[in-house]
Amino acid sequence: MSTWADATLAAMQTKRHRSGGARRAVVELLGRQDCCLTAQGIFDGLRAEGRRVGIASVYRILEQLVRDGFVQRIDVGDGISRYEPAHPGGEHHHHLVCDGCGRVVAFEDQPLEQALEGLSTRLGHEVAAHDVVLRGECSDCLRAAS
Amino acid sequence: MSTWADATLAAMQTKRHRSGGARRAVVELLGRQDCCLTAQGIFDGLRAEGRRVGIASVYRILEQLVRDGFVQRIDVGDGISRYEPAHPGGEHHHHLVCDGCGRVVAFEDQPLEQALEGLSTRLGHEVAAHDVVLRGECSDCLRAAS
DNA sequence: ATACGTGCAAAGTATTTGCAAACGG
DNA sequence: CCGTTTGCAAATACTTTGCACGTAT
């Protein structure tokens, strides 16, 4: 379960030298999540655990993790960045944003994944990463909007 | 060529009552573009034409146009929103962001489009809109990074 | 004439940066 | 010990809001 967190911490330690407590805390918290978190959400989560961190450190650490490819930054269009562990090669999910309540839920879809894989060659262009964001009303909001 | 601009202006005039000069200017400028523009880009473009508009009006007008479905808001992950005419039903393109220079270029891909169309039924969930953003190095940057 | 549209300036909010203190190796 | 990491506070940048004036109908 914490395999991503361990691998990430080990790899970061190799690249840079010191490994501070705040980075470990952020990575471990991210490793426990299954979907994306906002920077503020990570900050709140760490504070809730009693960890005294600064929001700036959270941003700085996330920036490093994104730059080194361990974390994927996701932007669903509300102006707030979200972050989640990047599982290289492995399972891959995308996000569905509810137009009503703004909730973000994950989904997987094999045909979509295949179409995305072929893109790189069809475009004759390197594609390092892809984000797909769908918008629509979630079942709760559809019912409420009747 | 200006068919989108005309249709949009006409439809806006039906929904709301007055039709001010700033909105017309924004819609006409958008209609002349083929890919996405930032709010600041639209503002600069209008100023360059000698139109004295406020950046706040640009944002307000874009918000209306997005809400009414005439303009699509695109977020490529750099924290700056981009806007482009929405061509309902018609051709549909997505965006490729260069990791090197940050430039945004458009692309179309039929297999991807088909996978996206099927998503709504496969997920058992209404999907009103979708954004796909690819990241990778553009040919210029690939060459420069050798 | 009247209410919506617009421009300017000020406020708001997510994120970044400067800097001194804490900390790891 | 030395240099990276961190927390705080201040700064930045995009976007939104308040308000008075202009403008279309």
Measuring CA to CA, how many Å separate B39 from each of A80, A133, B74?
18, 21, 11
Question: What is the mean pLDDT of the segment spanning B105-133?
Answer: 89
Q: What are φ and ψ of residue A124, in 5° steps?
A: 60, 50
C-beta of residue A46 within 8 angstroms of C-beta of residue A29: yes
* Judgement on whether residues A79 and A35 belong to the same structural domain of the protein: yes
* Judgement on whether residues A34 and A68 belong to the same structural domain of the protein: yes
Q: Do B136 and A127 touch (CB under 8 A)?
A: yes
Please name the amino acid found at residue A53.
Answer: V
* Judgement on whether residues A31 and A100 belong to the same structural domain of the protein: no
Report the range of poorest mean pLDDT among A2-11, B13-22, B54-63: B13-22
Tell me if residue B86 falls in helix, strand or coil: coil
Which among B70, B88, B106 is the end of a domain?
A: B88
Question: What is the mean pLDDT of the segment spanning A61-89?
Answer: 89
* Judgement on whether residues A81 and A131 belong to the same structural domain of the protein: no
* Judgement on whether residues A97 and A84 belong to the same structural domain of the protein: no
> Residue B126 CA to D21 C1' — how many Å?
45
Q: Do A111 and B122 touch (CB under 8 A)?
A: yes
| pLDDT band for position B1 (cuts 50, 70, 90) | low
pLDDT beyond 70 at B3? yes
Give chain B's domain count. Answer: 2
> Residue B55 CA to D15 C1' — how many Å?
10
Measuring CA to CA, how many Å separate A113 from each of A35, A77, B128?
18, 22, 20
pLDDT beyond 70 at A141? yes
Tokens representing residue B7 in the block: 């249709």
CATH code at position B138 = 3.30.1490.190
* Judgement on whether residues A56 and A104 belong to the same structural domain of the protein: no
* Judgement on whether residues A125 and A73 belong to the same structural domain of the protein: no
* Judgement on whether residues B83 and B128 belong to the same structural domain of the protein: no
Question: What is the mean pLDDT of the segment spanning B45-58?
Answer: 94
B58 nearest nucleotide via C1' and CA: C6
> Residue B67 CA to D14 C1' — how many Å?
20
pLDDT beyond 70 at B146? no
Closest CA of chain B from A79, distance in Å: 6
Angle at A44 between CA A39 and CA A50, to 5 degrees: 135
Structural domain that includes position B65: 1-88
* Judgement on whether residues B62 and B97 belong to the same structural domain of the protein: no
| pLDDT band for position B28 (cuts 50, 70, 90) | very high
Q: Which helix (H) or strand (E) holds A135?
A: strand A129-136
Q: In the prediction, which pLDDT does A2 show?
A: 66
pLDDT beyond 80 at A1? no
d(CA B4, CA B2): 5
pLDDT beyond 70 at B69? yes
Q: In the prediction, which pLDDT does A146 show?
A: 66
| pLDDT band for position A25 (cuts 50, 70, 90) | very high
C-beta of residue A130 within 8 angstroms of C-beta of residue B132: yes
Q: Is the dihedral of CA B45, B47, B51, B57 positive or negative?
A: positive
Which positions in chain B touch A133 (Cβ < 8 Å)? Answer: 130-133
| pLDDT band for position B25 (cuts 50, 70, 90) | very high
Nucleotides of C under 7 A from a protein CB: 3-10, 14-18, 23-25
- Determine whether A128 is exposed, middle or buried from the number of CB atoms within 10 Å of its CB (0-12, 13-18, 19+): exposed
- For residue A105, give the nearest of B67, B94, B72, B127 by alpha carbon: B127
Q: Which helix (H) or strand (E) holds A113?
A: helix A110-123
d(CA A95, CA A118): 20
pLDDT beyond 80 at A17? no
From the list B125, B133, B135, the residue facing A96 with the nearest CB is: B125
The half-sphere exposure of A93 on its side-chain side, counting CA atoms within 13 A, is 14
pLDDT tens profile A109-130: 999 999 999 998 888 788 888 8
Q: In the prediction, which pLDDT does B92 show?
A: 83
* Judgement on whether residues B70 and B6 belong to the same structural domain of the protein: yes
Determine the residue of chain A that is closest to B124 in CA distance. Answer: A139
Measuring CA to CA, how many Å separate A15 from each of A8, A18, A64, A71, A73?
11, 9, 11, 15, 20
* Judgement on whether residues A34 and A81 belong to the same structural domain of the protein: yes
* Judgement on whether residues B79 and B42 belong to the same structural domain of the protein: yes
Which positions in chain A touch B110 (Cβ < 8 Å)? Answer: none
Q: Do B128 and A109 touch (CB under 8 A)?
A: no
Q: What are φ and ψ of residue A90, in 5° steps?
A: -70, -155
Question: What is the mean pLDDT of the segment spanning A40-62?
Answer: 93
Please name the amino acid found at residue B68.
Answer: D
Q: Who has greater pLDDT, B117 or B99?
A: B117
Which among B42, B58, B88 is the end of a domain?
A: B88
Q: Who has greater pLDDT, A42 or B99?
A: A42
pLDDT beyond 80 at B7? yes
Checking phi first, is residue B52 left (phi over 0); if not, alpha (psi -120 to 50) or beta?
A: beta
CATH code at position B24 = 1.10.10.10
d(CA B22, CA B81): 20
| pLDDT band for position B34 (cuts 50, 70, 90) | confident
Which among B88, B107, B127 is the end of a domain?
A: B88
